[in-house]
Amino acid sequence: MHEASIVTAILDQLQQRKEAGDFTGKLQVVNLKVGKLTAVVPENLKFLYDILSGETGFAGSRLEIEMIPVICSCGACGNEFEMEELNFTCLHCGSTGLKVMSGRELLINTLEVDDGD
Amino acid sequence: MATKQIEVVTSILDANQRVADEIRHIFAHADLLTINLISSPGSGKTLLLEKTMPLLKACGIRCGVIAGDIATCADAERIAATGAPVVQITTESFGGACHLEAPAVLQALGHLQMDELDMLIIENVGNLVCPAEFDVGEALRVVILSVTEGEDKPLKYPLAFHVADCCLVSKIDLVPHLNMSMEKLHASLERINPKAKRIELSSQQGDGLTEWVDWLVEQNAQKTELLEHHHAPSASTGKGHSHGHSHSH
């Protein structure tokens, strides 16, 4: 359950941003981008966030997760394609020189915060 | 009440990544080739290391080990019996984590005489999921798949296999006793990581150990290049983290 480590890292970053004055109002939503080529179960992240954030100043906020597809670019033929089923050989030319362009993301993208008005 | 949206766009594992980058810098400075060894529990990491240490020594390579476990020092004791320097990390003090993170490795380095080592193998906590996501500053990743685990494991746990530089297929002496297909196992590995070096071995019987040690010796011979040019296996920063080495991750 390394999702606990990931949620703890999210909460640490939120705390640092709050202390740095990046936001002042009540935090409502943390929007993540999670690549499909990560070892992360999104439901576990949400579940653990609800539990672990309850012990912090961010109780009541929630995670929203946008899943990012695996997109590869072929170094040999230049073709760029989305990989729905993982297979790291180019569908067009058979080269194994694929570069993963997206799908490894584990990002905090945006925060939704009450603006106090 | 109205809400406003604040743009953040930072890697969640940024803190771990910073420490991993620091470790990578330390290894480059110490000219120390470090390998992150990942596999399921019971796939034979510790036995492989017990067999590997004397062979590396015979090749003139001084190799140390950092052994990661949730609890107990049993693995470290087994490896220490080979005469190799070992540091045990039990993740109990890091929240009982199911994987090693960079700060635990950084702390362990304080217990190693790095100037007396050519190579360092980090035996990660037995787990195919969690360790895959955490860079610990290594130059190379090696994943073990034992034949008893089933042919489809690379498809079920793709990240661990996808980011490996070398995939070891272990316990091949058991193949005759199992209802499994080596062809299917290799096909799974080929799909997830067609570029990785692949070695079949049996630590128990000795098959493949020479090929494995030869690969390590070869990597050690070219480590200056690996240490200078290798970037983190993690591309999770979202800032177009580049991979300077020749593999496609």
pTM (global) more than 0.95: no
CA B12 – CA A35 distance, rounded (Å): 12
- Which tens digit of pLDDT belongs to each residue from A55-101? 999 999 999 999 999 999 999 999 999 999 999 999 899 999 999 99
Query: Is A13 within 8 Å of B14 (Cβ atoms)?
Result: yes
- What is the C-alpha separation between A107 and A65, in angstroms, rounded? 10
Mean pLDDT on B73-95 = 87
Which are the contacts of B207, defined by CB distance < 8 A and separation ≥ 6? B172, B173, B200, B201
For chain A, state the CA radius of gyration.
Answer: 18
Inter-chain touch A112–B3, beta carbons under 8 Å: yes
What stretches of chain B adopt beta strand conformation (E)?
3-11, 33-39, 63-69, 86-90, 119-123, 140-146, 166-170, 197-200
ipTM value, please give it: 0.90
Q: How close, in Å, is residue A14 to chain B by CA atoms? A: 10
Which CATH fold topology does A3-69+102-113 show? hypothetical protein PF0899 fold (3.30.2320)
What are chain B's domains?
15-229 (3.40.50.300)
| Cα of B234 vs its chain's centroid, Å | 13
- At B238, the pLDDT band (50, 70, 90 cuts) reads very low
Question: Which residues on A lie below 8 Å from B235 (Cβ)?
Answer: 100, 104
Cβ separation A86–B192 shorter than 8 A: yes
| pLDDT tier at B248, thresholds 50, 70, 90 | very low
CB contact burial B203-237 (16+ within 10 A = b; e otherwise):
beeeebbeebbebbeebbeebeebbeebebbbbbb
Name the residue of chain B whose CA is nearest to A100's CA. Answer: B249
The 8-class DSSP code of residue B135 comes to -
Give the pLDDT score at B232.
Answer: 58
Residue-range domain boundaries for chain A: 3-69+102-113
Mean pLDDT of chain B: 90
- With an 8 Å Cβ cutoff, is B156 touching chain A? no
Pick the more confident residue, B231 or B91.
B91
